[in-house]
Amino acid sequence: MNQEFELIAKTFQGLEEVLAQELTELGASNIEIGRRMVSFTGDKAMMYKANFCLRTAIRILKPIKHFTAKTADEVYEAVKSIAWENYLDNMSSFSVDAVVFSNEFRHSKFVAYKVKDAVVDYFREKTGNRPSVRISNPDLAIHIHIAEEECTLALDSSGESLHRRGYRQEQVEAPLNEVLAAGMILMTGWRGECDLIDPMCGSGTIPIEAALIARNIAPGVFRKEFGFEKWKDFDQDLFDAIYNDDSQEREFTHKIYGYDNNPKANEIAQHNVKAAGVSKDVILKIQPFQQFEQPAQKSIIITNPPYGERISSEDLLGLYQMIGERLKHAFTGNDAWILSYRDECFDQIGLKASIKVPLFNGALECQFRKYQLFDGKYKEFRSDNSDKEFKPKREERPARPRRQGEKVEYGRKERKDGGRGERKEGFRSDRKEGFRKDADRKETFRGRKAGDGKEFTRERRKEFKYKEDSKPRTPRPSTDDGRPKAAPAPRYMHRRRSEEEGNSQD
């Protein structure tokens, strides 16, 4: 049996408890919530699964040493004392990332240089040669976190940030982060029980993440590579078994609708939906919110309208007034969840929110609010539905971000078979040959098509490039959506974090 070890999953502030619940369902042990992170324990298979399956994690770190240090020299000596030949050799490449909150160490780059020097000097003294430093795509990514005098040295098992799923072909200006989109959906409790609508979907991030959640498709299936695949102890057969196991996928009998009044955004969303292989579940349409009509079926709205920061509107307050009017008159009997940044924007909606959850969108401390739409007066609605619960119970409600050091333990989820279970018949161990030979599943996850119509195999993923890194960004035109223009003078609901603090989340 593989030995368990400590692991850390990093996330955005506000998503810690959603991530902890994901880890509980995945079967992790000793789950403890921190600030923008959740620690847990597991074996090598759990580390692979965490990278492959978690929707709200940015990266998975494996701590290899905890120590205290008051000076840079003490950091250097502690790092140099590690047997680095267990992790890389003098022909390998590595990078160092540092996050520092300390009066003793004021510059994270200086700490990173000391760690780099320690690793290089270790190999130079042992072998006469040294490994190279490579910022982009190294063989081993090293992470050091310092809080005052407490230091944690860890290996980054994810490589590129996990929010880069791999399906995004293009993007609009200021797209919603995939991890945040998935966290918002999970926070509502929606798992595919009804139709889902994003009336301002942009490049389609919320509809795509919703489709993956509804079918329980692992977000890591689109990734071309994980950091741990370059480690010296990488177990190819174990990861192949995890990669090819689709036993947890499920059917989805409803639809997901994404609307936007920008033709360019609609075109980009079409490409991304096709690349993700969820065209059967997601319906996209060019339609302004002003034309939104009452859906025929039970539905939920989850959306992220512009709020005058990176994307604005000629009449921002008028936009939110229109949103409130459409919700009240064309979405009765349903729930709507809206992420926004300013009090005056929410005020213009003119509806009473039943839940308000603080969430960070980049450096902006936003709120994610739930609106329950009904006919008539609120008191009459409550009295007529007195048997229904309008707010989640305290233990079920998305909770506030916990303070540093505050911990919650979750019990390990027991499997019915008492363990990981037998591998189901019909799964391949060699994913390079494709997934399963099932002609009836061409449109589903295992036989999904890439944007060019060819089979989206694991082998093609290795060659797949993130097109958003090479294509020039096309700013949204100043059309009816009015997003590029300046907003009225803001009245901020929360503080704005510094750029450095915002970037440290990743």
Q: Got the DSSP string for 202-263?
A: TTTHHHHHHHHHHHT--GGGG-S--GGGGSTT--HHHHHHHHH--TT-----S-EEEEES-H
Contact 16, 401 (CB under 8 A): yes
The predicted pLDDT at position 430 comes to 42
Indicate the domain borders of the chain.
Answer: 5-156, 178-384
Question: Which pair of structure tokens corresponds to residue 486?
Answer: 């300046």
Q: Is 178-384 in CATH node 3.40.50.150?
A: yes
**Calpha distance 361→171 (Å, rounded):** 17
For the chain, residues with pLDDT lower than 70 are 1-2, 172, 174, 308-314, 376-506
The predicted pLDDT at position 135 comes to 87
pLDDT digits (tens, 9 = 90+) for 71-88: 999 999 999 999 999 999
Q: Look at strands 140-147 and 150-156 and give their pairing.
A: antiparallel
Residue type, 10: K
Contact 195, 255 (CB under 8 A): yes
Instruction: Tell me the backbone φ, ψ of residue 241, rounded to 5 degrees.
Output: -65, -40
∠ CA(369), CA(370), CA(375), 5° rounding? 135
**Calpha distance 96→143 (Å, rounded):** 6
The predicted pLDDT at position 106 comes to 81
CATH of domain 5-156: 3.30.2130.30
Half-sphere exposure of 286 (CA within 13 A, CB side): 11
- Is 7 strand, coil or helix? strand
The predicted pLDDT at position 170 comes to 76
The DSSP letter of residue 449 is B
The predicted pLDDT at position 309 comes to 56
Instruction: Tell me the backbone φ, ψ of residue 80, rounded to 5 degrees.
Output: -70, -25
Task: Assess whether the region 5-156 and the region 178-384 belong to the same CATH fold.
Answer: no
Question: pTM value?
Answer: 0.75
The predicted pLDDT at position 414 comes to 43
